[in-house]
Structure formats: structure tokens, C-alpha cells
Amino acid sequence: MEYLFHLFIISGIFVILALSLNLIIGYLGQPALGHAAFFALGAYSSSLLALNLGISPWIGLFIGAAFAAISGLVIGYLTFHLNEDYFALATFGFGLLIYYLIKNWVDVTRGPMGLTNIPQFLTFSSNLESLIFYCVLIVFFILLTIGVMKRIVYSPLGRVVQSIRDDEIAAESLGKDTRQIKITIFMIGAFFAGIAGSLYAHYVTYIDPSSFTVMESILIVLMVILGGLGTIEGSIIGAAILILFPELLRFIGIPSAIAAPLRQMIYGLMLIILIIKRPQGLVGKYKLW
């Protein structure tokens, strides 16, 4: 029972990640392949603030997210004047750069040993109590993310965002500053990924670089494409399926030495087949191409 709560919380964190990435890929149409970097920045900055300076996780949550958003600003500023292939590679490279940074900067991040004893949001009297609290907290942040996304998507700004995806030249010819809008949306996406990171760190209380590899970034991309680009339900379904799917492999009883590469092979195959056969995903409206 407690394990089900745990799975719900982890799925919820990935739902926030998938939603925030869907804003960038599904609505804005920009191929960001380094989303795990913002997840890592949120997780590490709020944990380090809590461990070293004793700053409350409630405040660290927003500082971490703001930090992720500022990095988004820098990356967007550096790459949005280049074509999409470069943007895809630059974000992927950024994901790898952040991974190397948390792995090699041992003095601060303790490298592969990871950060332990990260404080939780509150002190709990029982394990069940903490699980219920985190479930409620995650649901709150999912609803907040969906609310913000809806406000953006159905606003005049949202129309411009989707027009950039459909035809950037047309949007530009109508006098819209597409580069600035792209940077803004990218920053909002990074902000929510940072929130997801902080929630994750203060929930599991232990983080190490292995949770923030480039594979995680590709996994989030896969969640978005599987569910459907440009839909909110799609991201929720995609994240839930891909988090619960490895549990199925474990349930069947495949040993973990085989299960881990097998799972990744299925992800790779899934990505290829989806974009060839069903680029709009399970419930999507917008076709990737």
C-alpha cells in the first residue's frame, strides 16, 4: 500500500516534468533534449541551501526553480538564433554538462556519493503521514502547473506561442518578437522542472548524479511524445505509463541486470516506432510532422 503511494508521488513528479517539457516541445515546437538538467538544478540547489545554510525547503523550492529558470534564460539566449538542430544538440549538451558538473564538483555536490539526509518539508510522526502529505503536495503542484499552462496557452501570448510552432516566419512577419517569446516559454518550462527537482530531493531525501543523466532527459521527451504533443492529458498519461512500466517488468520477475538494458532498449524502440507510425502520440492533436 505504501509502495503505491510512493509510485503515485514519483509519477506525479514526472507528470510535472512532462507537462513543463510539453510546453516547450508541444506548444512552442522547440526540441529541448536536456530537461533533466533543470530537474537537477532545482534538486541540487534547494538541497544544498537546506543542508549548508539551513534554508527552509519551502523557500529553497522557489530559489531552486528560479535558478533553473535563469539557466534556461542563458541557454535560450545562446541558442535560439540558431536552427532547431543546433538547439536540440545544445540543450542535450547542456544536460550532459550539468551531469558532469554534479558528478565532478565533489567539494560541493559530493559527486557520485550524493547528498544524504536532505530535510523534508515538515517533520512527520509516521511514514504513512509523510506519504499522504507528499501526495497532496504533488497534486497541488500538478494542478498549479496545469493552471499556469492553461493560462498561457489560452492567452494571446499562447496564440503567438503556437503560431511560432506552426509557422515561425509568419509569426515574425506579423511583428512578433519570436526569439523573446521562445526564451520566456523556455524559462517557464525550466522553472517548473526546477520545482519538480526540489520536490523530488525533499521527498526521497537522497540524491546522486544517476537520477539526472541524459537518459532521464530522453525519457521525459518520450513521455511527452508518447502521451501526445500539445495536450495536458497526454503528458499525464505518458508520464504515468513510463513510470509504471518498469514495475511491470519487475512484476514478471526479470532479473535487474537484464531488466535495466531491456527497459532502455524498449524505450529506444518505442521512440523510433512512435515517430514513424504515430507522431501525435496516444491522445495528441498536434502532429510532430
Partner 1 sequence: MSQIVFQLFLNSLIAGSIYALIAIGFAIIYKTVKFFHFAHGVVYAAGAYIAYTFFSILQFNFVISFFLAILLTGLIGVGINHFVYRTLRIKRAPNLIFLLASFGVFIFIQNLITLIYGSEVRIMRPENDIAIYSVLGATITSTQVTILAVSLIALVLLWIFIQKTRLGLALRAVADDPHAAQLVGIDSDRLILIAFFIGSLLAGVAGVLISLETNLDPTMGLPAILKGIIACIIGGIGSIPGAVVGGFFLGFVENFGILFIPSIWKDFISFIVLIVFLIFKPEGFFGIKAEKELI
Interface with partner 1, residue 229, by CB under 8 A = no
Q: Residue 112 CB, nearest distance to partner 1 (Å)?
A: 12
Interface with partner 1, residue 268, by CB under 8 A = yes
H or E stretch covering 99: helix 84-104
Nearer to partner 1, 1 or 169 (CB): 169
Nearer to partner 1, 12 or 26 (CB): 26
Nearer to partner 1, 248 or 269 (CB): 269
Give me the half-sphere count of Cα atoms (radius 13 Å) on the Cβ side of residue 29.
Answer: 20
207 bridge partner residues? 115
Asked if residue 160 lies in contact with residue 144, where contact means CB atoms within 8 angstroms, the answer is no
Interacting positions 115-174 with partner 1 (CB under 8 A): 168-169, 172
Interacting positions 90-109 with partner 1 (CB under 8 A): 90, 93, 96-97, 100-101, 104
Nearer to partner 1, 30 or 130 (CB): 30
What's the Cα-to-Cα distance from 91 to each of 37, 64, 94, 218, 253, rounded to whole Å? Answer: 9, 19, 5, 11, 36
Interface with partner 1, residue 279, by CB under 8 A = yes
Q: What is the DSSP string of 184-214?
A: HHHHHHHHHHHHHHHHHHHHHS-B-GGGGSH
Cell numbers standing for residue 75: 541557454
115 bridge partner residues? 207
Q: Which of 31, 114, 119, 246 binds partner 1 (CB under 8 A)?
A: 31
Interface with partner 1, residue 288, by CB under 8 A = yes
Contact partners, residue 117, CB within 8 Å, separation at least 6: 51, 205, 206
Interface with partner 1, residue 249, by CB under 8 A = no
Q: Which of 127, 155, 256, 264 binds partner 1 (CB under 8 A)?
A: 264
Q: Which residue type sits at 158?
A: G
115: left (phi over 0), alpha (psi -120 to 50) or beta: beta
Interface with partner 1, residue 276, by CB under 8 A = yes
Binding site for partner 1 (CB under 8 A): 31, 33, 78-79, 81-86, 88-90, 93, 96-97, 100-101, 104, 168-169, 172, 214-215, 218, 221, 225, 257-258, 260-262, 264-265, 267-272, 275-276, 279, 288-289
